[in-house]
Amino acid sequence: MSGEAPVGSAFEVRELVWRLGSFELRVPELAIPTGRTTALLGRSASGKSTLLSLLGRVEGSYFERPEGLSGEIWFSGAEERLELLGLTERELLKRRLRGPVLGFVFQREGLFPHLSPAENVTWPLEAAGVARAEASARAERMLARVGLAPGRTVATLSGGERKRLALARALAFEPRVLLLDEPLTGLDPEALEGLLDLLAEIAADRGRTIVIVTHQERDVARLAEHVVFMDGGEVAASGPREAMNEAIARFFAGRPVDELTR
């Protein structure tokens, strides 16, 4: 199979299959555009977060290829074009893909509860080889950008503040690609609006590719330029948002995903 990617694709998925017990993710072909925000939509357990975890190579098996996984994910956001699923954990670490290239914000933020917000940002940076002074400077900038004070501990932060801290930690690496797994769920209205504004600002940066898993129509309206519908572990439809407006309206009106493009 050719190693050439379509112009403008940050990710190109080919013949992807991952069997997880009774669930199977099956994506024969999918392209995620570069420098745009793509929304992954679908009902619960449709495969959105599973696909996102593979794009970010955080699929839960860092040391060997997960059982039942086959296919290819070509990534064009690094210095060289890479087939992500073919890389071992050692190769991923050597290329410093996670963090500096691929930033990931999980539903459960994965923060260090006993550390301060500033330490939650600086520790991963220093572990990745960033000098302490530079790590501190980045932490200060990112925390100011998301509106968080550097003191306190994570255990005292509200849900909205933890979401903002997780985003600040990812952005501190200045990643070319940002993968977001439902970053706006469970927030109070004020925190939600502030974080949505921040994501809209980040999405306006044409140099950054964003892939966001969401269940919310407002997120699609404010952020998405490209949409992928997932259903039963498969891609039901995908394309530019302007070409998918009718399908989006049907989806949020409660229509079954397999009827969206009929």
How many Cα atoms occupy the beta-carbon half-sphere of 46 within 13 Å? 20
- Going from the C-alpha of 33 to that of each of 12, 41, 209, 227, the distances in angstroms are 9, 16, 8, 10
The chain-wide mean pLDDT, for the chain, equals 87
Single-letter residue type at 230: M
High-pLDDT (> 90) share of the chain, %: 49
Strands, DSSP E only, in 133-213? Answer: 177-181, 209-213
Residue 65: the pLDDT is 59
Where does the pLDDT of residue 64 fall: very low under 50, low under 70, confident under 90, or very high at 90 and above?
Answer: low
Sign of torsion, CA 82 86 92 97? positive
Q: Which residue has the higher pLDDT, 78 or 19?
A: 19
d(C-alpha 20, C-alpha 180), whole Å? 22
Phi/psi of residue 224, nearest 5 degrees: -80, 140
Range ranked top by mean pLDDT from 29-33, 216-220, 257-261: 29-33
Give the rounded percent of residues in the chain with a pLDDT score beyond 70.
Answer: 94
Report whether 66 contacts 59 (CB < 8 A).
yes
Q: Is the pLDDT of residue 3 over 60?
A: no
φ, ψ at 113 (rounded to 5°):
-65, -25
Report pLDDT for 243: 92
CB neighbours of 213 closer than 8 A, spacing ≥ 6?
Answer: 39, 40, 48, 49, 52, 180, 181, 182
Q: Quick check: 212 pLDDT over 70?
A: yes
Nearest Cα to 36, choosing from 235, 223, 237, 190? 223
The model's pLDDT over 122-131, given as tens digits with 9 standing for 90+, comes to 999 998 889 9
Residue with tokens 């890479």: 82
- Between CA 120 and CA 116 the distance in angstroms is 6
Q: What pLDDT, on a 0 to 100 scale, did the predictor assign at position 183? A: 85
Q: Span 98-112, mean pLDDT?
A: 84
Q: What is the mean pLDDT of residues 186-215?
A: 85
